[in-house]
């Protein structure tokens, strides 16, 4: 394993191959749905081929072998010699898992674990045409012939030396047929190449052997004579050991790729011009007219030979035109060659981006402080300066946030494979539909959302989608649909996980809640349908009677709720029995800077995340009610539990008398809403979350701290944690 290679090359491989492998997982599942899609087959073939090429450059033999075997399978598939089926896809996906495992080992600089021999053998068996066992020998040469154009030269030095010997033999065969005149013989020797010039052939040799090993003859009028005479010599003395036109064309195709010359690409004038200009000059040359009389032979045999030479001219000029075109365009080439050198992307360490984001956060705090001071000042210039600073800071904050943004496709890309494998395991037919993969959100959020979304998608396939026979009896199609979508709403991202399955029965959920002791019967009966649906997020709660390797232990959904809460997000569920379910996740675009509602409890400042705030009003606290031993308020015929959080968060707050009038902030966690009594409302403010010090880490109900516009330190309230601990 060549980890001693240039680290920059290794990083380039990790970036490129990582993106390709992410796409391959999605493309392979898509191929199973559309087995006849030739573009998809070619894309997968190229994906494995590119990863193989990069791995070969780094001498990662185990990775090369696995990719090569998978590549052979898709070479057979794209040539329509075998059809895609589920068994074949199982083997290919297993190969992709091994490639991904080895890729991670490369990333971690570990020794590679080769793919099992049994897997390679199964891939090799699938790389044979369907219904045949022994055409491996025929299939491999065909593959090798198609590879040189991409790999850049499977021809060995020995084979090319044989080609050179054949060309030399051809020259020597032609020499006797030329006139006995010494200069004519010299002319013949200096031009043994029919349509390819010496400089062009020299360039070809330079590509294979390096410069300076073979010298070309100088250009002159001898070349023109030989171009007329050589076709006649070839037609007269074509022995078996000479290389034929077809063989030479095939060699050039191997080296340059078919149709790779400028003549095939749409520059016919470049190939026609030399032949048109050289023929008249040949007739005017003195050496060409004197030669027949000097040798005493008639020139008649040469005339019929001309059409033979001209017939293959357009094809023969393919390799010849390539160097000529380069030479002709030499002055303009430097500009075209250096154009791609101006790279438009730069690889930056994420830690550096985090540091920049932290500095922008500090700038936001300074901006807030200056705004507060500016409001107290009557200086007009001060107001203008603060306003300009506000605009620049906001733009800078937005620009830096954009550098940290990634499309949620990074998370969505893994779900086609998850759904496909789980559906086969459960013997269900499930189609995954995805929308809004290009929606951007903070890199940290992309990583943090990965596991919760996997749990929710698996839950939809396992609990939501019914078996095909059950769906048919219910009048549905055999194939269920899971829809995963994302969209931006203001400074938040909305994620939807929907299925058209059986939906949830509130009565079953109530019964399970009573059985598990979460609620007594009276409390369970008073639960709304929405509150019943949220019971699935309770720890240890499951509606499955049988435990399987997929679900049944009640672990997973509670983890999802906790994780989304840590991201300052919200979860809500909608479901209809027999129609399906829908889970909605709402998370902020970024975790670095948070809009909050600043409140006062006594003389202490606190920040409530604005995502949790529903409404604010002034309330007469003498008109509260007691329900189940808890103080509640009724607003627009809705009942909200009321909490005096000052008693929890401020020293001595529990002993203070309750005022008759106070501000109440209604906050939401998913579908649950409660009221917080606060002393004073300061207003909305963007804050930068700072972690709590060691002495305060783990304090219940606290998400972090920040510095307010008036220079105070304010604690940021974690609403779910606060209620879970105190309420």
Per-residue pLDDT of 438-454, as tens digits, reads 888 888 888 888 888 99
**Does the residue 696 lie in any domain?**
yes
Question: Are 471 and 480 spatial neighbours (Cβ–Cβ below 8 Å)?
Answer: yes
Question: If you average pLDDT over residues 333-349, what whole number do you get?
Answer: 61
- The residue assigned the tokens 């979460």 is 518
Q: Tell me: do 125 and 201 sit in the same domain.
A: no
User: Could you tell me if residue 173 is inside a domain?
Assistant: no
Do 491 and 535 reside in the same domain of the chain? Answer: yes
Domain boundary, last residue among 533, 564, 588: 588
- Higher per-residue pLDDT: 727 or 688: 688
Model confidence at 481, pLDDT cuts 50, 70, 90, reads: very high
Angle at 599 between CA 593 and CA 603, to 5 degrees: 120
pLDDT band at 391 (very low <50, low <70, confident <90, very high): very high
Least Cα distance to 669 among 533, 545, 561 occurs for 561
Q: Is pLDDT at 516 greater than 70 in this prediction?
A: yes
**241 and 385 assigned to the same domain:** no
Tokens representing 218 are 């100088």
63 has pLDDT over 80? yes
The answer to whether residues 563 and 570 touch, using CB atoms and an 8 Å cutoff, is no
Query: Does some domain include residue 292?
Result: no
| pLDDT tens column, 545-589 | 555 555 544 456 888 888 887 787 888 888 988 889 999 998 888
Residue range 657-675, pLDDT digits in tens: 667 778 899 998 766 788 9
d(CA 171, CA 166): 9
Pair 613, 701 in one domain: yes
On the 0-12 / 13-18 / 19+ scale of CB atoms within 10 A, 664 is buried
The Cα 79–Cα 135 span in angstroms is 14
Whether residue 717 is found in the same domain as residue 584: no
CB proximity list for 632: less than 8 A, separation 6 or greater: 624, 625, 626, 639, 640, 641, 642
Per-residue confidence band for 342, with pLDDT thresholds at 50, 70 and 90: low
Please report the DSSP string for 545-562 in residue order: SS--SSS-SS-SHHHHHH
Chosen domain end from 381, 404, 427: 404
Sheet holding 604-609: strands in order across?
Answer: 680-688, 593-601, 604-609, 713-717, 702-707
Q: Which residues contact 10 (CB under 8 A, 6 or more apart)?
A: 3, 58, 106
User: Do 367 and 450 share a structural domain?
Assistant: no
CATH number of the domain where residue 47 is located: 1.20.120.160
Same domain, 247 and 263: yes
Q: Quick one: pLDDT at residue 480?
A: 92
CB 532 within 8 A of CB 509: yes
Residue 266 resides in a domain: yes
Residues 279 and 360 in one domain: no
- Do 570 and 440 reside in the same domain of the chain? yes
Mean pLDDT of 191-195: 48
Domain range holding 613? 593-726
Has residue 171 been placed in a domain?
no
Any domain includes 329 = no
Residue 88, domain member (yes or no): yes
With beta carbons less than 8 A apart as the criterion, state whether 313 and 195 touch.
Answer: yes
Same domain (yes/no): 125, 257: no
Q: Assess whether 611 and 652 both reside in one domain.
A: yes
The last residue of one of the domains, among 120, 146, 172, is: 146
Query: Which CATH number goes with the domain that contains 432?
Result: 3.30.565.10
**Whole-prediction pTM:** 0.59
Provide the pLDDT for residue 261.
44
What is the distance between the alpha carbons of residues 533 and 510, in angstroms, rounded to a whole number? Answer: 9
Mean pLDDT of 358-384: 86
Sign of the torsion angle spanned by Cα atoms 465, 469, 474, 476: positive
Q: What is the CATH number of the domain that holds 652?
A: 2.30.30.40
Chain-wide mean pLDDT for the chain? 74
Under the banding of pLDDT at 50, 70 and 90, the label for residue 172 is low
Q: What is the CATH number of the domain that holds 357?
A: 1.10.287
Q: In the chain, how many domains are there? A: 5
Is residue 332 domain-resident?
A: no
601 and 570 in a common domain: no
């Amino acid at each position: 394993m060549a980890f001693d290679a240039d680290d920059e090359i290794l990083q380039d491989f990790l970036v490129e191959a990582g993106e390709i492998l992410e796409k391959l997982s999605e493309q392979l599942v898509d191929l199973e749905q559309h087995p006849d899609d030739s573009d998809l087959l070619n894309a997968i073939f190229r994906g494995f081929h590119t990863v193989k090429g990069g791995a070969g450059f780094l001498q990662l033999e185990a990775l090369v072998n696995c990719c090569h075997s998978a590549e052979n399978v898709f070479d057979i598939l794209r040539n329509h010699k075998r059809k895609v089926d589920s068994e074949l896809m199982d083997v290919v996906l297993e190969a992709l898992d091994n490639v991904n495992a080895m890729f991670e080992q490369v990333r971690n600089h570990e020794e590679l674990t080769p793919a099992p021999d049994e897997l390679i053998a199964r891939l090799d068996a699938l790389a044979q045409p369907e219904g045949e066992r022994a055409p491996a020998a025929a299939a491999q040469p065909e593959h090798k012939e198609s590879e040189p154009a991409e790999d850049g030269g499977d021809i060995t030095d020995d084979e090319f030396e044989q080609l050179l010997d054949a060309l030399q033999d051809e020259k020597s065969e032609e020499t006797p047929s030329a006139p006995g005149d010494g200069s004519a013989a010299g002319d013949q020797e200096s031009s043994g190449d029919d349509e390819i010039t010496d400089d062009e052939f020299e360039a070809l040799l330079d590509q294979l052997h390096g410069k300076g090993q073979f010298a070309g003859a100088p250009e002159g009028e001898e070349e023109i004579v030989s171009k007329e005479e050589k076709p006649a010599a070839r037609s007269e003395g074509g022995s078996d050991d000479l290389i034929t036109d077809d063989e030479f064309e095939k060699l050039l195709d191997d080296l340059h790729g078919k149709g790779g010359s400028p003549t095939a690409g749409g520059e016919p004038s470049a190939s026609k011009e030399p032949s048109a200009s050289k023929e008249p000059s040949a007739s005017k040359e003195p050496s060409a007219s004197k030669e027949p009389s000097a040798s005493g032979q008639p020139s008649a045999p040469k005339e019929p030979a001309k059409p033979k030479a001209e017939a293959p001219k357009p094809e023969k000029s393919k390799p010849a035109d390539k160097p000529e075109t380069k030479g002709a365009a030499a002055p303009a080439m430097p500009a075209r060659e250096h154009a791609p050198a101006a790279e438009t992307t730069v690889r930056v360490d994420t830690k550096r981006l985090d540091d920049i984001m932290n500095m922008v956060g500090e700038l936001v705090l300074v901006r807030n402080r200056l705004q507060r001071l500016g409001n107290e000042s009557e200086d007009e210039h001060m107001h203008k300066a603060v306003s300009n600073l506000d605009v620049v800071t906001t733009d800078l904050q937005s620009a830096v946030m954009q550098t940290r943004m990634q499309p949620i496709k990074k998370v969505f890309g893994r779900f086609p494979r998850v759904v496909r494998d789980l559906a086969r395991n459960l013997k269900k037919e499930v189609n995954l539909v995805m929308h809004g993969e290009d929606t951007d959100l903070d890199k940290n959020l992309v990583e943090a959302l990965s596991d919760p979304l996997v749990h929710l998608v698996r839950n939809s396939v396992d609990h939501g989608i019914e078996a095909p026979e059950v769906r048919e009896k219910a009048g549905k199609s055999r194939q269920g649909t899971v829809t995963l979508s994302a969209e931006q709403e203001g400074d938040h991202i909305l994620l939807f996980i929907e299925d058209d399955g059986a939906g949830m029965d509130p009565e079953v959920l109530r019964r399970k809640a009573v059985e598990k002791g979460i609620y007594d019967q009276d409390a369970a009966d008073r639960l709304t349908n929405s509150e019943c649906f949220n019971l699935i997020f309770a720890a240890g709660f499951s509606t499955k009677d049988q435990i399987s390797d997929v679900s049944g232990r009640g672990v997973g959904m509670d983890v999802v709720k906790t994780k989304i809460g840590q991201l300052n997000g919200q979860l809500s569920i909608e479901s209809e029995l027999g129609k399906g379910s829908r889970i909605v996740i709402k998370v902020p675009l970024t975790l670095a800077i948070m809009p909050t509602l600043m409140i006062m409890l006594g003389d202490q400042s606190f920040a409530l995340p604005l995502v949790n705030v529903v409404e604010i009003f002034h309330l007469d606290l003498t008109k509260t009610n007691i329900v189940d031993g808890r103080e509640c308020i009724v607003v627009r015929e809705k009942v909200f539990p009321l909490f005096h959080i000052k008693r929890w968060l401020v020293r001595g707050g529990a002993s203070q008398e309750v005022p008759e009038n106070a501000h109440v902030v209604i906050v939401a966690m998913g579908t649950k809403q409660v009221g917080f009594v606060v002393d004073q409302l300061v207003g909305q403010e963007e804050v930068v979350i700072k972690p709590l010090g060691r002495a305060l880490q783990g304090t219940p109900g606290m998400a972090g701290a920040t510095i307010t516009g008036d220079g105070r330190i304010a604690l940021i309230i974690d609403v779910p944690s606060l209620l879970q601990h105190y309420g």
